[in-house]
């Protein structure tokens, strides 16, 4: 498994986006977290296999009914020692 960081841009704060992402990634068995960033974007960090990435990205692009996702950027993280116990919303 690898660690990945996604930055989601658009109308993604104050529209239940984090809750939507957390609920759906938990259903997929993904470990990691989602949090709002000060610039209005949302950060999602996960531990996943290459095969799981399309499902994760599908969730991130779909978003909550009130959200409007403009873009999702993905990068691999060098830090492979990230520890997660499930998927959580961070504040």
Other Cβ atoms closer than 10 A to 33: 19
18 catalytically annotated: yes
24 catalytically annotated: no
**Which member of 36, 58, 74, 90 is catalytic?**
36
Q: Which helix (H) or strand (E) holds 18?
A: helix 17-27
Biggest alpha carbon distance in the chain? 35
**Which member of 18, 47, 74, 90 is catalytic?**
18
Catalogue the active-site residues. 18, 36
């Amino acid at each position: 498994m690898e660690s990945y960081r996604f930055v989601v841009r658009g109308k993604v704060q104050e529209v239940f986006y984090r809750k939507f992402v957390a609920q759906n990634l938990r259903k997929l068995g993904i470990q990691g977290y989602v949090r709002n960033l000060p610039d209005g974007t949302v950060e999602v960090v996960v531990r996943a296999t290459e095969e799981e990435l399309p499902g994760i990205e599908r969730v991130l692009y779909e978003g909550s009914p009130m959200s409007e996702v403009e873009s999702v950027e993905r990068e691999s993280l060098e830090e492979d020692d990230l520890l997660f116990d499930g998927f959580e919303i961070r504040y």
